[in-house]
Amino acid sequence: MKIAIAADHGGYKLKEEIKPYIESLGHTVTDFGTYSEDSVDYPDYAAPCARAVVSGEMDRGIVICGTGIGISIAANKIKGVRCALCTDPVMARLTREHNDANMLAMGARIIGGELARGIVKAFLETDFSNGKRHMDRINKITELERAK
């Protein structure tokens, strides 16, 4: 798969740590920044990453900030994104199975590298269940995006 990744300054080190891990799983990674620990605003990195996923240029996306909260909120503002903030592999597996999440958010100040690798692995290796009740819920989310 083609994986988009982005982070702000708070998530930069974790982003750099997990990129080679994602590649070791056989995926291609495209880095949307940031490229240092200099202070930046997470929406400036979440949005291009999310747009690449929604456009189909990338298959899935991963975004990282200090807590994962701000960057997940920003990513979810892009129509078509279902970005889930996960703090353990079970959450990552279930958001793929039940929500068909196309983006993962993590908090670098909340989890360490080993746990992040487990979360990423679960997110990338789990397929959507295609269950009717889950499809119905995703369709309702899509309707919410269309409503003004």
Determine the residue type at 24.
S
Whole-number Å distance between alpha carbons of 47 and 72? 10
Q: How many CA atoms lie within 13 A of 114 on its CB side?
A: 0
Query: What DSSP character marks residue 109?
Result: T
Which of 9, 49, 65, 86 is catalytic? The answer is 65
Helix (H) or strand (E) holding 7: strand 2-7
- By CB atoms closer than 10 A (0-12, 13-18, 19+), residue 14 is buried
98 carries an active-site annotation: yes
Which of 9, 27, 49, 98 is catalytic? The answer is 98
Give catalytic residue positions.
65, 98
